[in-house]
Structure 1
Amino acid sequence: MEPEPVRRVLADNLRRARLDSGISLSELSRRSGIGKATLSALESGAGNPTIETVFSLSRALGAPISTLLEDSVPTLSVVRGDEQDVLSGPTIDLRMLRTLRRNGVAVEVFDQQIRTGGPQPSSGHIGTEHTIVQVGTLRVHVGEQTVDLHAGDAIAFDAHQPHSYEAIDGDVRSVLLLEYPPGEAQRVFDLHP
């Protein structure tokens, strides 16, 4: 799938989330560390979003990633992984598959592929992060702790903390779930009823 749909969806959702939060482009720039011109380009659909950009915006807005990336979802849907837009970082590719909502909790489901080449850091974001390794060995750093996970292993942690993923001995395939409790999930419900 071409990158244009992700740009269009991000442009629409970013502007709506920023305005709903009542903050200016300048304030979002300050909070996210992303230049005002870059934010303006993203809101107009002309920018080139990266995984780091989307996570920074999510953190700065205090909003789940799906608030920025998800179009409305029909009651019945089939998601083909190879047809989804990819958010890429230096060693990671994420494909958003679905947002699940129940009893005030929202869970975003991602196909996650981590390539060898060093850790993919995150300075933290809202929610609880769950990763289930399907193939390979994944090293996860959370705060001062380091854990190696193998196929079939899972980890969960408070995603507000700095953390990183690193593929050890070959590429890793995993499922990433970002869970937002009722207070944090409300933004998902408000923006994507």
Structure 2
Amino acid sequence: MKSPESSIRDVLAANLRRERVRRGLSLSKLSQLSKIGKATLSQLESATGNPTIETVFSLSRALEIPISDLMDARHSDAVTVVRAAETEVLSGEGVDLRALHRIEASGMIVEVFDQQVRADGRQRSLGHAGTEHTVVQSGRLVAEVDGRRVDLGPGDYIAFDGRLPHSYAAPEGPVRSVLLLHYRSGRHEAADQPNSPH
């Protein structure tokens, strides 16, 4: 998704500025929409800030765009190989994410992430654009979606409307999972994604 020399900070800085300017938003207005301080946004746009999962998801929600529109350096080849050692980690209060790939086909965008929920951590989200899918690879994951708790083990799968408040926790030790986010193509359609069947 990005060349080794382009960092998460650099890619986010360029994409955030492009998306903000495209919408005619001032830093103050984006701060109001995303609930992120104006100074923090300024640092992110100058590639001097320290982006977190919470920050990126808040920006995705405020701008109504897929996460990868903020994180993708837009490189493509016939064969895509993403090496774990060469992929930067985006960390949040309880989760470490590595962006692996963005797929665009049949009017849909699918983002693929390697997701690790840290032991005794809890990752909370107020919601974001798209539909969220998680497949547990190892460990026991506790997902809570709009107040409903679901316990998941290896091989289990959950899907839900990403706009709903949700959280992930790993009470018994670290959890490894694959996170997929999918959206309809189009800049302003991402937030209109219908509920996914469970």
For the criterion TM > 0.5, the same-fold answer is yes
Cα displacement (A) at 1:23? 1.1
Match of 1:23 among 25, 28, 35: 25
Structure 2 unaligned blocks of 5 or more: 191-198
Rounded Cα–Cα distance in structure 2 between residues aligned with 1:185 and 1:24: 18
1:39 aligned partner, one-letter code: L
Contact 1:127 / 1:184 at 8 angstroms: preserved in 2? no
1:42 aligned partner, one-letter code: L
Rounded Cα–Cα distance in structure 1 between residues aligned with 2:110 and 2:6: 25
Task: For 1:31-180, list aligned pairs within 5 A.
Answer: 31-75=33-77, 76-180=79-183
RMSD value, Cα: 1.9
Q: Once the two structures are aligned, what percentage of the paired residues are identical?
A: 56
- Residue 196 of structure 2 aligns with which residue? none
Cα displacement (A) at 1:184? 5.6
Structure 1 unaligned blocks of 5 or more: 188-193
Change (3 A) 1:3 1:42: farther
Cα displacement (A) at 1:4? 6.8
Contact 2:120 / 2:172 at 8 angstroms: preserved in 1? no
Contact 2:95 / 2:122 at 8 angstroms: preserved in 1? no
The Cα offsets for residues 22-75 of structure 1, whole Å up to 9 and x where unpaired, read as: 211111000011111111111011111111111111111111110001111222
Rounded Cα–Cα distance in structure 1 between residues aligned with 2:100 and 2:133: 15
Contact 1:105 / 1:185 at 8 angstroms: preserved in 2? no
Comparing 102-111 with 76-85, greater Cα deviation is found at 76-85
1:142 aligned partner, one-letter code: V
TM-score of the aligned structures, taking structure 2 as reference length: 0.89
Cα displacement (A) at 1:168? 2.7
Q: Which has the higher helix share?
A: 1
Contact 2:27 / 2:42 at 8 angstroms: preserved in 1? yes
Change (3 A) 1:30 1:56: same
Cα displacement (A) at 1:185? 7.8
Contact 1:10 / 1:43 at 8 angstroms: preserved in 2? yes
How many residue pairs get matched? 187
Contact 1:2 / 1:85 at 8 angstroms: preserved in 2? no
SS in 2 for 1:168: coil
Q: Which runs of 4+ in 1 moved over 4 A?
A: 1-4, 183-187
- Residue 191 of structure 1 aligns with which residue? none
The Cα offsets for residues 64-89 of structure 1, whole Å up to 9 and x where unpaired, read as: 11000111122222101221111101
Change (3 A) 1:3 1:59: farther
